[in-house]
Structure formats: structure tokens, C-alpha cells
Amino acid sequence: MTAPATPEHPSTRLAPSLATQLLHTARCVQGVAQGRSLSELLPAVPAGLRPGVQALTFQVLRQFGTARALVAQLAPRKPEPAVHALLCSAVALLLQPPVDGIAATAFSAYPEHTLVNQAVDAARQHRSTQRQAAFVNACLRRFLRERVGLEAALATDLEARWNHPRWWIERLQRDHPDHWQAILTASNQPGPMTLRVNRRLTSRAQYQQVLQDAGLAVQPVGDDGLRLAAPQPVERLPGFADGLCSVQDAAAQLAAPLLLAGRDWPAGARVLDACAAPGGKTAHLLELAELDLLALDVDPRRCERITDTLQRLHLRARVQAGDAAQPSGWWDGQPFDAILLDAPCTASGIVRRHPDVRWLRRETDVAQLAAVQQRLLEALWPLLRPGGRLVYATCSVFRAEGSAQLASFLERHTDAVCAPAPGHLLPGNAGACTGLQDNESGGYDGFFYARIDKR
């Protein structure tokens, strides 16, 4: 059985073997369980294996709660981390069809017997697991024999049912009592691939035709977006290297228009993108208007990514490394006409694209990041001229990082006026507070947007 080789659906060719891919997948899963990000782990996978391993790892992490609970039944004495990760990986990929009520992504490219045999072969390939190959074989074959009963035993296990940490689920139940189940379901589905057309170089209609001529089905979304029917490597996108488009979710594409809407901005208006890396929103602002834009980020290495992004898109901005919470280190004393603050957050709204995030975050991170967001707002507000505007954004669905943060800010600042803005956008088809939700073809990532005008 063969499947198309996309970032979310790897080829099932036996060269490289599935066993080899599973071995690297298990290493990634083990790394996440030990607190390491996939952005750190995946680059260490050999390039030829990386697309397949990424797709397998994403699928495992989307079903990690279920798989981990099942492995706990199959092996009451938790095995060594490498063996545990391999078992969880194999069980997650065997969960087809998904357990009733459990949100899971369909991934049925591999027959069950192939998965079991290749998982055992993977165990034999490495010294950390080779002595446990027979144990892996026994556990997986027991799962196939007893899966109905084993799965039924998980009926009251929230983490196994929804594949998110319990604290995360309970917070969503409080924050979004009418939508929490839909949010969790959407978060376990792959997000669509959406492009932003660079209107300085082409029109959306023209670029849509270019893509269709290349055999790629697309659908317009928002003002500048095109959503692909199936994800593609950027190398397959005509004109990508020349700057005709960028990859950016429809929710993220709302930031620049929200900051600029409703005004005729004079050429050279001073704008700050306060947490700018990797530069997608910076570029979108420059595609929409002639601005004197400062793109700031605390990490000098991430600033290099901003510069690379702008060069590819044939755009220019001042790029500077600096801590937005400490303006004394970078601000020239001249007020800004507009500020975009896409603040550091839990990333709870984009876990369909980054399924490791849910397993890396801790409950205490929410309050810690909310405190960071508050410091940034307090530091940047004095830099905005009277009559200016600030857009506050997070890619989070938690109210502590969204509506609660905004309400607290407005209480502290009598010169702040809340203007119309999307508010909480919920991922996928989970619904939205302001009716901006695009309910077709995957919807938005989860985001929060507020626009604050200064008297």
C-alpha cells in the first residue's frame, strides 16, 4: 500500500524501511516525553528520513494520551524509556479505527501485521531496545487480541479520551464550556496549509491561477490567503523562492490588516513589530503599506530568520535584537504610530501544527507566560503616541492569555480604548466569539486578537 509523500502523510516505501522510521519516531517521542521540543529533535533525524518520521511522530503525539494509557495496561511495570516510547509509537499507529469518542487523526497507511513486525524489527536495530524485542512483540500482539477490552477500560480517563493533559482539558472546560470538546477534536486534526500572496509582486487571483495551472487545488481565504487542498513542500510552489507567497495560517494573516485597517497611513509611519521572528507578520505589514518598520526580537539568531524572510519577499525593515520589555536597550525615544505585540504564549491554539506542545507545557506555564505578556504590554504602551494603536495577539485559546489579559490591561489604563477585534478565534471548526470563523476546509488556528487605541 502506497500513500502520497507529504509533510502529513509519508510514503510507505520500504526504503527506508518502516522499522528505521519507527526507530527514529520513537526517539523523537522519547525526547518529547523528557521535555525536548520537536523543533530540536527533528533536525537531528537524517534528511531523507525526516518527512516520514515527522508525519509518524505527529500522529503518535496526537494519540499519545491514548497510547500511553494502553501501554500502561500492557506493561504494568513501565519499561525503559526507549522501549516505552517504541511501544507507545506502535500502539498509537495501531489505533485505527480510532477509539469511540477519542479524537484521533485517520492514519491507516500501514496494515496491522506490518506495523507489529516492523516495530519488532525497530527494537532489534538498537542496543537500547534489542533485548526487549520479544517483549515488544508480545505486548503488541496482546493489544491486537484484546484491544476492545483494553480500550473500554479507558472510558473515564480524560487524557486517554482527548489526548491532552488533564489540566489542559479542565482549563478549556472552564474557559470555553460550550466549545471545549470541539477545540480538543480540532487540535487533534492536521491543520491545512495556507499561503499568503505577496500583493506587492502579484495579485491573489493571478497567483491562484498559477497554482491551478501547476495542478494544485486552492481556495481563497481572507484578504490575501489561498488554502491548499493538500499540503505541499514549498519547493513545489511556483515562485515561492522569488517571494510570490509565504506559508501563514489564515488566523495569523489577520494581524497586519487589523493593525492597519481604517486609516490612510502616511509613507514612513513608525511601526513596531515587538516580537517579530520569524517575520511573517512583519512581511505582511510591509506588503500592505509603506512603513518605517522596526522588527524586534529578543533572540539574535531568530532575527536572522526575519532578515531571510524579508530578503526572499523583496521587503525592507530595520531588524534589531532586543528585549521588548526593556525599551531602554533599543528604543530611540521617538513614539510609534502603531505597535504589533504578538506575545510569547503557551501556543495552545496551534497544537494541531505542533502536537508536541501539549505534552511539553505545564499548568504553571500559563500564569508565568501571562505575567510576561503583562510586562510587555506595560513596557510598550508608553512608546505609543496618543492617537496610535496597539494590536495584542497570542496564538492561545486560554482566556488568561486573551480576554482576561485585555480586561486587566484596560482596568489599569484609562487612556486605552478597546476597538473592534476578533477576540478569541478557536481552532478548526470549533466556533468563534465574533463570527469570523471560517468553517470550511479546516478554519483558523486558535488565536486571540485585541486592538487598543490610545486617547
What burial class does residue 302 get, using C-beta atoms within 10 Å of its C-beta: 0-12 exposed, 13-18 middle, 19+ buried?
A: middle
- How far is residue 245 CA from its own chain's centroid? 19
453: β partners: 389, 417
> What CA–CA distance (Å, rounded) separates 63 from 94?
10
> What CA–CA distance (Å, rounded) separates 65 from 60?
9
> What CA–CA distance (Å, rounded) separates 3 from 202?
34
The pairing of beta strand 447-454 with beta strand 384-394: antiparallel
What burial class does residue 301 get, using C-beta atoms within 10 Å of its C-beta: 0-12 exposed, 13-18 middle, 19+ buried?
A: exposed
Cβ(397)–Cβ(383) below 8 Å: no
Cell reading at 381: 504602551
> What CA–CA distance (Å, rounded) separates 119 from 82?
12
Phi, psi of 324 (to 5 degrees): -60, -25
Cell reading at 35: 521535555
Of the residues 28, 245, 395, 418, which is catalytic?
395
Other CB atoms within 10 A of residue 33 CB: 18
> What CA–CA distance (Å, rounded) separates 374 from 377?
5
Is 395 considered catalytic here? yes
- How far is residue 339 CA from its own chain's centroid? 24
What burial class does residue 334 get, using C-beta atoms within 10 Å of its C-beta: 0-12 exposed, 13-18 middle, 19+ buried?
A: exposed
Write out the catalytic residue numbers: 395
